[in-house]
Amino acid sequence: MEPAASRPALLRAASPWISYAAVAAVAVALLGYVVLPLLATFREGVRGPHGLTAEQYRAFFSLAHPANLESLRTSLWISILSVLTCGTVGVTLAFLLNRIEFPGRRALEIVSLVPLALPPLIGVYTFVFLYAESGIVPRGLQAIFHLHAAPFALRGLVGVVVVHTFTMYPYFYLAAAAALAGLDPSLEEAAGNLGAGRWHVWTRVILPLLTPALVAGSLLVFMVSMASYTAPLIFGVDRTMTMQIYISRTNGDLTLASVQATILSAVSIGFLVAMRWYQGRRIYRSLSKGTAAARAEVRHPMARALVVSAAALLVLILIAPILVLVLISFSKDATWTVQVLPPVYTLQNYTRLVTDRQTWLPIRNSLDMSTLSTLGDVLLGVAAAYVIARLAIRGKGLLDIAVMLPWALPGTVVGINLITAFNQPSVFSLGRILVGTFWILPLAYFVRGLPLVFRSTSATMAQLDPALEEAAANLGASWWYAFRRVTLPLIGRGVLAGALLAFAQGVGEFVASILIYTPASRPLSVAIYNELYSFQFGTAAAYGVFQVLIVLVVLTIVRGPSRNGTLPMG
Amino acid sequence: MHDADLVVAPGEFFTLLGPSGCGKTTILRMLAGFILPSAGRILFGEQDVTRVPPNRRGTAMVFQNYALFPHLSVFENVAFGLRIRRVSAADLRRRVGEALAQVRLTHLEGRRIDQLSGGQQQRVALARALVVQPNVLLLDEPLSNLDAKLREETRAEIRRIQTAAGITTVYVTHDQAEAMAISDRVAVMSSGQIHQIGTPPEVYYRPATRFVAEFIGKTNLVEGTLVAASGGSGTVDAGDGLRLEVPLDGRPGPGPAAGAQVLLSIRPEAFRVAAPGETRNVFAGTVRRYEFGGAYTEYTIAGGGRDWTVWLPREGLDAYAAGITLRLAVAQVYVVA
C-alpha cells in the first residue's frame, strides 16, 4: 500500500489551483500581518546607531535601573496570585454547582457566566464604581454604620487581582465543570467498591481526573493575566509589563516599548507552546460517557439557610456589575460626586446616543471597523482552517502556530507590532503608512479576532467526515460546488459562532485601540475611557450597556458559552 | 501496493477480498480517483481515466460509513448527483422516486438522515449511487456497520439490484463468506499483493497460495514430499507414516516433479469415516474434543503426528466422544504448491 497511500488523498479531490491559491493567501496574510510585525518589533529593539545591538536588552535586565525588572516581577506576581484565586473560586463553584443541590442553584449556575459578558474596560470600571474609594459599597457601609471613613476600598495590586478573579475564574469554572460533568460516577463507585474511603477516592480518582482541567485553566489565566492592561491602568499599578509598554510608547520611546513588548511576547509564546504541548499529551479522559452524578441535597435547616444566603450573596455579587452599569447609564452626567448613589436620573444618555451625531460617532466607528475586521477574519480564518484540516502540505504546523499566535499575544503587543511594522510603507499596506490612518484599527481587530474564527471553524471542521466531500466529488460535484453545497453548510455554525465572537471582541476592544487609535475614528471603548475621565459617567455607562448588549446577543446566538464563548480579557 | 493487474468484465460483480490493510480500499479509491496510482493506468472500457479527477469519472461509490449529507433530506441526498447533472425537474423527481422505490424507501423520502436506522441509511447511500447510472458502482465494505441478520438481507438486496441494473460493480470486503456469497469473481489480496483471481468455488477449492487456502474458509494445511508422480496423480509422504495419494491435474502451471516439497490443503468437510477394509488415504486418529456446529460437528482429531480439523455429520444426539479412535478417509485433497 505504501507508495500510493502516502499520496495526499484529499489534495486530489480539491482542484489543485484552488488549494495552492488558498495556501498562498493564508501564508502571505499571516506573514504580513502577524509574523513580520512581530519581527519588526524585535528588530526595532535591537537597532542601534551602528548596526545591531543588545544594549537595550542589557539595560532592561540591568540592576542599576530596576523599573523594568520590577515590572516584570510585578506582572509575574499578579499572574501567580490570579491563578491561585481564580483556581480556588472556579473549582469550588464547579463542585458546589455539580455536587450539591440547594434552592437557587440554577440561578447561580446561570449568572456564574456573567463575567464573560463584560468587555474589559467596562468590567474594570464597574468594580471601581462598586468597590473603590468612592464606590457604592464602601460609601454605603460608611453611611449605614456612620463610620468616619470608608471601611475598605479596592485599590492597587489587590484591586487588580480582585478584578482578575472576577473576570477570569470562569476559565477554571468551565474547565472543571466540564471535567466533573464528564466524570463517570461509576468510577467513584468502582473505587468505593474496591474498598477506597472518601479521602482515597478524592486523592486517587477525582483529582487526577481533574488535573487536565486545572492545568489548562492555570495556563490560560496566567497568560491572560500577563497580558492584562486595563486593570493595572485603572487601579494605577504602573509597574507592570503592559503598563510600561504603554508608558514607553506614549513617551515616544518606541525602541524601549519594542524591547518590553518582545520580552512580554516571549513569555506569552512560551505559555502558548506549553499549553499546546500539554493538550497534546493529555490522556486523562474518562473512557465511558458519564451520566450526571446525583447531587447531594442540603437538608439540615441551619445549613440550608446558610447555603441559601451564601448563594444569594454570590448571585448579587455576580450581577452587581451589570446592575450598577445600568443604574449609572440613567444618571445625569457630572451630577454624581460624593453621594452613595447617583442623585439625578434621566433618559437623555440613551436618547443622545441615537440623536446626537457626536455621541453616535464612536458606536458607528466601532461597528464599521469591527464589521470590516470580521469579514477579513472569516475569509482568512475559514481558509486557514480548511487548509490545515484538509490539505496535506508541508509546513502546516507553522501555519497553525502563526494563526494562533495573536491569541497568545497581549493586545498591547499587537498594537506595538502594528506600529513598528506599518509606521513605514510596506508591501502589505500597499506601500502606504497605516499608522495614523483609519485602517490601523480594523487591522488590529482583524489580527486579534483571527484565532477566534479559526478555532471555532477548525472545531466544526474536525467533526466533518472527509468522506462527505469525497462523496460529493464522486457524484460529480466540482470542488467549488462541493464546498458551497456540502462543506460550507456543515461548518456554517462554527464559522458564524467565530465571526460573532470576533465581532463582539472588536466592539469591546480597548487595549490595542488605546495605543493606536486616531481621533478621526475613535472607537467605542476609547470614547468610554474619555467620557469617564471627564466625569461623564452616564454617557460612558450607556455606551457600556450597548457593548454588553452586543456581547449578550452574541453569546445567546452562539449558545453554550461553555464551548467557545470565551472572549480574551484585556 | 505491488504490481496488480485486474480486468473486470462489463456487468460483472467483482470483489476485492482481504484482511484490513491489504490494499483493497486503496484500489477502490484509485478507481474513484481519490488516490493517484504512482505507476500504471486505469481504463474504463477504452478510455484512460488515470488522470481524470473524481468528479468526471462517472463512478458512484457507497462509502463504508455511507457519507450521507446530514444537512439534506433523504430525497435531496439521492437527488444530489442529478442536480449536478442538471437533470430537468420532472425527470429528477421521477428518477429519485424510482431509485427510492428500488431500495424500498419511498415512504421515507422527507426524513432527515439522523432519523434513519443504519440499514435505511445504507439503502439511501445505495440509491444515491445508483440513481446517477454510473459506469462503475464502487462499494466499500457497505455492510460492515450492520448487524448479522440485516447484513445477509442487505447482501441479497444489493445483488438483486445490481443484477437488475446490470451495473459493473467493484465490491470491497474483509468478510470471505460475504465475498463468496455475492460475487461473480473474487480477487484475494494481502499486503498489497493479489494472490488469486477467480470465481468463489475456484478460490475455495483451488487456492493458489497458502494465504488463500488459510483465508478462505477453514482448512488443514499439510507439508510433505512428493515421492512419486505419474500421469494425473502422485503420492505424498507427509511424515509420521502418513502417505496420501493426491491429484496433480486440474491445477494451473506445470505440476511438481517427484522429490519436490508440496503443500496440501484438505478442507474439514473432505473427511469421512472410512468403511471397514478401506485403505486408500485412510489414517487413524483419536478424538480430542468437539464442538457442535449445527449441520455438522467440528472435531479436533489427533493422528499422523498432527491435529486435524474435521467436520462430520452427526447422527441423532450422539457424537464421537473424546478418546475414541476413528479411521478417517480423506476424500478430497488439493495440491496448493
pLDDT tens per residue, range A496-523: 888 988 998 898 899 889 888 888 889 9
pLDDT tens per residue, range B160-178: 989 988 899 999 999 999 9
The pair phi, psi for residue A505, each rounded to 5°, is: -65, -40
- Which residues on chain B are in Cβ contact (under 8 Å) with A472? 69, 80
**Block residue for cell numbers 458502482:** B137
Question: Do B192 and A12 count as a contact with CB atoms less than 8 A apart?
Answer: no
State the pLDDT confidence band at B276, using cuts at 50, 70 and 90: confident
pLDDT for B247: 85
| C-alpha to C-alpha distance for B330 and B267, rounded to whole angstroms | 9
| Contact present, A476 and B55 (Cβ < 8 Å) | yes
The pair phi, psi for residue B186, each rounded to 5°, is: -130, 140
Choose the mutation target among A1, A10, A469, A474 for the interface with B, i.e. most B CBs under 10 Å. Answer: A474
Closest-CA residue of chain A to B22: A1
State the pLDDT confidence band at A10, using cuts at 50, 70 and 90: very low
> SS3 sequence, B134-188?
CCEEEEECCCCCCCHHHHHHHHHHHHHHHHHHCCEEEEEECCHHHHHHHCCEEEE
Question: Do A476 and B132 count as a contact with CB atoms less than 8 A apart?
Answer: yes
Q: Which of A7, A471, A472 comes nearest B36 by C-beta? A: A7
Q: pTM above the 0.90 mark?
A: no
| C-alpha to C-alpha distance for B330 and B283, rounded to whole angstroms | 9
| C-alpha to C-alpha distance for B13 and A117, rounded to whole angstroms | 61
The pLDDT of residue B220 is above 60: yes
Question: Do B59 and A3 count as a contact with CB atoms less than 8 A apart?
Answer: no
Question: Do B55 and A474 count as a contact with CB atoms less than 8 A apart?
Answer: yes
Angle value at C-alpha B306, between B303 and B309, nearest 5 degrees: 85
pLDDT tens per residue, range B286-323: 999 988 888 888 999 998 888 999 998 877 777 788 88
Q: Which of A7, A9, A471 comes nearest B67 by C-beta? A: A471
pLDDT tens per residue, range A157-193: 899 999 999 989 988 888 888 888 777 777 777 777 7
Query: Higher model confidence: residue A205 or residue B206?
Result: B206
pLDDT tens per residue, range B53-95: 888 888 999 998 899 999 899 999 999 999 999 999 999 999 9
Task: Tell me how close the Cα of A372 comes to any Cα of chain B, in angstroms.
Answer: 30
pLDDT tens per residue, range A42-65: 888 888 777 788 878 888 888 777
Q: Which helix (H) or strand (E) holds A310?
A: helix A301-329
- Which residues on chain B are in Cβ contact (under 8 Å) with A10? 34
Q: Average pLDDT of chain A?
A: 83
The pLDDT of residue A560 is above 60: no
- Which residues on chain B are in Cβ contact (under 8 Å) with A2? 1, 192
Using a pLDDT cut of 90, give the percent of chain B over it. 34
pLDDT for B327: 86
> What residues contact residue A227 under an 8 Å CB cut-off, 6+ apart?
A242, A264, A268, A409, A410, A411, A412, A413, A511, A568, A570
| Contact present, A113 and A90 (Cβ < 8 Å) | no
Mean pLDDT, rounded, for A481-491? 91
| Contact present, A499 and A382 (Cβ < 8 Å) | no
pLDDT tens per residue, range A361-416: 899 999 999 999 999 999 999 988 888 888 777 777 788 888 888 888 888 889 88
Query: Higher model confidence: residue A130 or residue A394?
Result: A130
Residue A347 CB coordination number (10 Å)? 10
Task: Tell me how close the Cα of B210 comes to any Cα of chain A, in angstroms.
Answer: 21
Interface confidence (ipTM) of the complex: 0.80
State the pLDDT confidence band at B128, using cuts at 50, 70 and 90: very high
pLDDT for A280: 67
Rounded to 10 deg, the angle between the A120-131 and A524-533 helix axes is 20
Please give the DSSP secondary-structure letter assigned to residue B312: E
State the pLDDT confidence band at A298, using cuts at 50, 70 and 90: confident
Any CB–CB contact under 8 A between A476 and chain B?
yes
Choose the mutation target among B26, B78, B84 for the interface with A, i.e. most A CBs under 10 Å. Answer: B84
Task: Tell me how close the Cα of A21 comes to any Cα of chain B, in angstroms.
Answer: 19
Alpha helices in A423-558 (DSSP H): 440-463, 466-474, 479-482, 488-508, 511-516, 524-533, 537-558
Q: Average pLDDT of chain B?
A: 88
pLDDT for A105: 85
pLDDT for B282: 86
State the pLDDT confidence band at A479, using cuts at 50, 70 and 90: confident
- Which residues on chain B are in Cβ contact (under 8 Å) with A475? 55, 60, 80-81, 84, 128-129, 132
The pair phi, psi for residue A524, each rounded to 5°, is: -55, -50
pLDDT for A281: 65
Question: Do B55 and A7 count as a contact with CB atoms less than 8 A apart?
Answer: no
pLDDT for A152: 83
> What residues contact residue B7 under an 8 Å CB cut-off, 6+ apart?
none
- Beta-bridged to residue B230, according to DSSP, are B233
Any CB–CB contact under 8 A between A186 and chain B?
no
The pLDDT of residue A565 is above 60: no
The pLDDT of residue B228 is above 50: yes
The pLDDT of residue A67 is above 50: yes
Task: Tell me how close the Cα of B265 comes to any Cα of chain A, in angstroms.
Answer: 29
Task: Tell me how close the Cα of B309 comes to any Cα of chain A, in angstroms.
Answer: 34
| C-alpha to C-alpha distance for A324 and A338, rounded to whole angstroms | 16
Nearest to B134 by CA among A487, A484, A476: A476
Mean pLDDT, rounded, for A137-161? 86
Interface of B with A (CB under 8 A): 1, 21-23, 26, 29-30, 32-38, 53-61, 63-65, 67-71, 80-81, 84-85, 128-129, 132, 191-192
The pLDDT of residue B233 is above 70: yes
Task: Tell me how close the Cα of B103 comes to any Cα of chain A, in angstroms.
Answer: 18
Query: Higher model confidence: residue A112 or residue A566?
Result: A112
- Give the dihedral of Cα atoms B255, B257, B261, B264; nearest 10 deg: 40
| Contact present, B62 and B129 (Cβ < 8 Å) | yes
Closest-CA residue of chain B to A6: B35
Q: What is the largest distance, in Å, between two alpha-carbon atoms of chain A?
A: 85
pLDDT tens per residue, range A429-477: 887 888 888 888 999 999 999 998 998 898 888 888 889 999 999 999 9
Question: Do B32 and A486 count as a contact with CB atoms less than 8 A apart?
Answer: no
- Beta-bridged to residue B283, according to DSSP, are B328
pLDDT for A283: 52
- Give the dihedral of Cα atoms B109, B114, B115, B116; nearest 10 deg: 70
The pLDDT of residue B40 is above 90: no
Closest-CA residue of chain B to A492: B71
The pair phi, psi for residue B309, each rounded to 5°, is: -95, 120
| C-alpha to C-alpha distance for B286 and B308, rounded to whole angstroms | 10
Task: Tell me how close the Cα of B87 comes to any Cα of chain A, in angstroms.
Answer: 13
Choose the mutation target among A475, A479, A484 for the interface with B, i.e. most B CBs under 10 Å. Answer: A475
- Which residues on chain B are in Cβ contact (under 8 Å) with A477? 55, 80, 84
Question: Of the ranges A318-327, A410-419, B172-181, B225-234, which one carries the lowest mean pLDDT score?
Answer: B225-234
Any CB–CB contact under 8 A between A7 and chain B?
yes
| Contact present, B66 and B125 (Cβ < 8 Å) | yes
Task: Tell me how close the Cα of B52 comes to any Cα of chain A, in angstroms.
Answer: 10
Query: Would you say how long chain B is, in residues?
Result: 337
Angle value at C-alpha B129, between B125 and B132, nearest 5 degrees: 145
Query: Higher model confidence: residue B148 or residue B68?
Result: B68
